[in-house]
């Protein structure tokens, strides 16, 4: 096993025996085999498209399959093996329709007839990037591939709500096929990586349109952190469509629905918050789910990524949906009656508990709606600086830095945040500046487009470039959607980004130097106070 795609990879190098995420060696090998099979499919799909053959089925399948290879999504060997078979079926169908025969390492892959046989094939094929190239090119191939997995996640969410763009699918074929091209240089791969960021911006735009057209623009909303007496279902992950269906299927059944993790911002969508039994938020980020799921007295539905291998204490009340799979855990797809029945069979919460609340719903529509007030506050000196402190949370040490950073940010600064990294400080009471909350929850990691649009709009309002704004980005990363977002920021030319808690294991010193020289990327420091002082120009305090 060799996996280095997430921030928590073993020793900061690579997982070689079992994944820190809980992924086993057989699943890792099958995921590599699936990506390699998609490489072969991409080569044929590009040729078929040039002959006016419809490749939409293959495009959607490729996107969904790449999503399943993200960290903490699919732990089920049988599920992944089925996708390998499907990739080959689609490849052969396109070959036939386009009368296409092309050379390539995986255009003629024939999967074994058993899961065990496919595992052996995956181990033999090895990593889905070209290990014969020099280390720097391999690093850029991995960066592009991992970013592409993030793009696939956003594209999947957008598609199930009716938003697609052929250019996104065309790029995924292009990038996968490029892994076959030995002639591509280091600069070619730099360009492909930045193009991944450009395409991801479009994918995030599609997702933003999908969410807001379906559920309305988020509005500021107080979300209870306690609970009330009664039966309960906890929904975690990211998928708004699954939440909608769950709310509709639990209406008038005496069950309250609670969010967990990245589902917290969904309370701000008008079409979701209208359900009276959509009550509050329970728990924090994904890495705490073992304890939080164990303590929750109801059924649990896991959507999209961020699943951890479940404990026996709650396995019998956990369900997965969408791309998420785990051996032995019931998989439900759109019809959640089994989740409802389990919730009704459990005691639920015995009494009401008031644990305070948090404020969510500061997407681009809300923030830009008060832009004149924000601009005046900056011009008057009431707001001196903005920080975007966002990204993924995780279990490795070093992430308390982000808590310290937000707590120590001066009173004349505003913190925008998104994604599960905010659970390090989401319940901090930072007050307001002239009625503008100092802590603004922009939403999920899936809502990164909102943060980009807010930034661009502020730059336009002040008639300066984004890099000239009194704005600093302090990001945390864990998985591949964060890689895609980082590539988007680089595509937009945003510089001086602080990234942590550690730098990606797949980035070589030479590639890192390119990022430092071109974009000013730097790792977070050991002290949030020193970084704050440096950012705000008080270097004498950082000494």
501-534 pLDDT, tens digit per residue, is 999 999 999 999 999 999 999 999 999 999 999 9
Could you report the per-residue pLDDT of 349-402, keeping only the tens digit for each? 999 999 999 999 999 999 999 999 999 999 999 999 999 999 999 988 889 999
The domains located in the chain, with CATH, are: 10-214 (1.20.1270.20), 221-345 (3.40.50.2030), 362-542 (3.40.50.2030)
| pLDDT-derived band at 104, boundaries 50, 70, 90 | confident
- Check whether 439 has a pLDDT greater than 70: yes
Residue 194 has pLDDT above 60, yes or no: yes
Using only C-alpha atoms, the chain has a radius of gyration, in whole angstroms, of 23
Query: What is the pTM for the complete model shown?
Result: 0.96
Is 539's pLDDT higher than 50? no
pLDDT of residue 543: 41
User: For residue range 173-193, what is the model confidence (pLDDT) as tens digits?
Assistant: 999 999 989 999 999 999 999
Distance separating alpha carbons of residues 343 and 205, to the nearest angstrom: 36
Inter-residue contact 244 to 391 (CB < 8 Å): no
Query: If residue 223 lies in a helix (H) or strand (E), which one and from where to where?
Result: strand 221-224
Q: What is the pLDDT of residue 180?
A: 84
Count CB neighbours of 123 within 10 A. 17
- pLDDT at position 253 over 70: yes
pLDDT (tens digit per residue) in 218-250 = 999 999 999 999 999 999 999 999 999 999 999
Give tens-digit pLDDT for 460-470. Answer: 999 999 999 99
Contact 331, 319 (CB under 8 A): yes
Cβ(171)–Cβ(191) under 8 Å?
A: no
Encode pLDDT of 51-102 as tens digits: 999 999 999 999 999 999 999 999 999 999 999 999 999 999 999 988 877 8
Cα-Cα-Cα-Cα dihedral of 225, 228, 231, 237, to 10°? -10
Q: Which helix (H) or strand (E) holds 222?
A: strand 221-224
Instruction: Calculate the average pLDDT of the chain.
Output: 96
pLDDT for residue 223: 98
Q: Does pLDDT of 333 surpass 70?
A: yes
pLDDT value of position 191? 97
pLDDT at position 398 is 87
| Cα–Cα dist 179/176, whole Å | 6
98 CB contacts (<8 Å, ≥6 apart)? 44, 47, 48, 51, 53
User: If pLDDT is split at 50, 70 and 90, which confidence band does 538 have?
Assistant: low
């Amino acid at each position: 096993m060799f996996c280095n795609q997430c921030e928590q990879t073993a020793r900061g190098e690579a997982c070689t025996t079992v994944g820190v995420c809980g992924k086993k060696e057989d699943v890792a090998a099958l995921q590599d085999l699936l990506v390699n099979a998609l490489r072969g499919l991409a080569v044929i799909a590009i040729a078929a498209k040039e002959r006016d053959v419809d490749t939409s089925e293959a495009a959607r399948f490729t996107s969904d399959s790449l999503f399943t290879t993200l960290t903490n999504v699919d732990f089920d060997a049988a599920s992944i093996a089925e996708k390998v078979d499907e990739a080959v079926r689609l490849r052969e169908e396109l070959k036939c329709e386009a009368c296409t025969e092309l050379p390539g390492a995986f255009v003629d892959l024939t999967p074994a007839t058993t899961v065990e046989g496919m595992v052996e094939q995956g181990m033999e094929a090895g990593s889905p990037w070209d290990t014969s190239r020099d280390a720097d090119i391999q690093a850029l191939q991995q960066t592009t591939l991992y970013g592409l997995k993030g793009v696939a996640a956003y594209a999947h969410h957008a598609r199930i709500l009716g938003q697609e763009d052929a250019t996104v699918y065309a790029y995924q074929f292009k990038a996968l096929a490029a892994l076959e091209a030995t002639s591509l240089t280091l600069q070619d791969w730099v360009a492909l990586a930045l193009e991944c960021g450009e395409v991801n911006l479009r994918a995030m735009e599609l997702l933003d349109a999908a969410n807001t057209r379906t559920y309305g623009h988020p509005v500021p909303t107080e979300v209870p952190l306690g609970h009330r007496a009664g039966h309960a279902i906890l929904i975690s992950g990211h998928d708004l469509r699954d939440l909608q269906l769950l709310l509709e299927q639990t209406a008038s059944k005496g069950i309250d629905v609670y969010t967990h993790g990245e589902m917290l911002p969904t309370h701000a969508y008008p079409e979701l918050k209208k359900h009276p039994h959509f009550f509050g938020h329970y728990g924090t980020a994904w890495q705490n789910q073992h304890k939080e799921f164990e303590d929750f007295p109801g059924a649990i539905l896991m959507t999209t990524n961020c699943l951890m291998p479940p404990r026996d204490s709650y396995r019998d009340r956990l369900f997965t949906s969408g791309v998420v799979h785990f051996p032995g855990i019931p998989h439900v797809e759109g019809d959640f009656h089994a989740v409802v029945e389990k919730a009704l069979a459990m005691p639920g919460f015995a009494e009401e508990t008031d644990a305070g609340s948090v404020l969510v719903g500061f997407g681009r529509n809300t923030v830009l709606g008060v832009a004149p007030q924000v601009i005046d506050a900056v011009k008057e000196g009431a707001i001196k600086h903005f920080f975007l402190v966002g990204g993924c949370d995780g279990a490795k040490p070093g992430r308390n830095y982000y808590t310290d950073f937000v707590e120590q940010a001066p009173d004349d600064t505003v913190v925008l945040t998104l994604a599960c990294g905010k659970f390090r400080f989401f319940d901090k009471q930072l007050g307001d500046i002239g009625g503008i909350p100092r802590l603004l929850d922009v939403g999920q990691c899936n809502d990164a487009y909102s943060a980009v649009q807010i930034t661009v709009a502020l730059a336009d309002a002040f008639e300066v470039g984004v890099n000239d704004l009194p704005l600093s980005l302090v990001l945390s990363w864990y998985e591949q959607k964060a890689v895609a977002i980082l590539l988007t920021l680089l595509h937009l030319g945003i510089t001086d980004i602080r990234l942590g808690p550690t730098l990606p294991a797949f980035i070589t010193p030479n590639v890192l130097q390119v990022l430092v020289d071109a974009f000013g990327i730097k790792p977070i420091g050991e002290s949030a106070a020193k970084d704050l002082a440096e950012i705000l120009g008080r270097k004498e305090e950082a000494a």
